[in-house]
Structure 1
């Protein structure tokens, strides 16, 4: 009994040693993981073939649970409808361009007015210094 336990423990120790060596070696990274399997996935046994055929049959018989839209109707657009939609898009683009242009004009006006006010404030500051220098 003890000999069987010793054999199992020695086997498990060897397996652990193999695993630890495998982690350290870079060459093992090039091998596919499935190469270490006892039974290759590419060559299934006869029972696996029967199971796969049954699963294929089962999948083809079942209706899918995917909800299909019933109200969506796809129609081709006539050239008039395309022209109307294009005109709407162009109108929106023009409105946005006009809005941007007005905003830029307002910013320019604001900058001009701000500059004029600074110049006027500097003139007043100069006059104030001149008056202060004339007073004893």
Structure 2
């Protein structure tokens, strides 16, 4: 369910998320992590982080964004096929599954996640 109100993200949330991302990328790429912000894309609010000059999607909630950072599993829209509704909600749904999320999803979602993670170690290259 989408809200048309202005999305909010506290400075503390922004700092925590940026720190979580910095711990998952190689040290030589930490300087490529930019602004953390809420923005509307495809009629939904979400948390986006600039990485290597490109916006990456992390989810709709700070909980989803933190898990996405810890899993190193964000999405660059320019490198992803058109997003379907289940792609957008995937980030927030896996938070409900917690640590066992990989056991509870279809194999295709696990494979997509692995492919995204494999490309994270050279952001912007």
Which protein is richer in helix relative to its size? 1
Greater C-alpha radius of gyration = 1
Please report the TM-score for the alignment, with normalisation by the length of structure 2: 0.15
How does the TM-score come out when normalised to structure 1? Answer: 0.14
Higher relative contact order (CA 8 A, sep 6+): 2
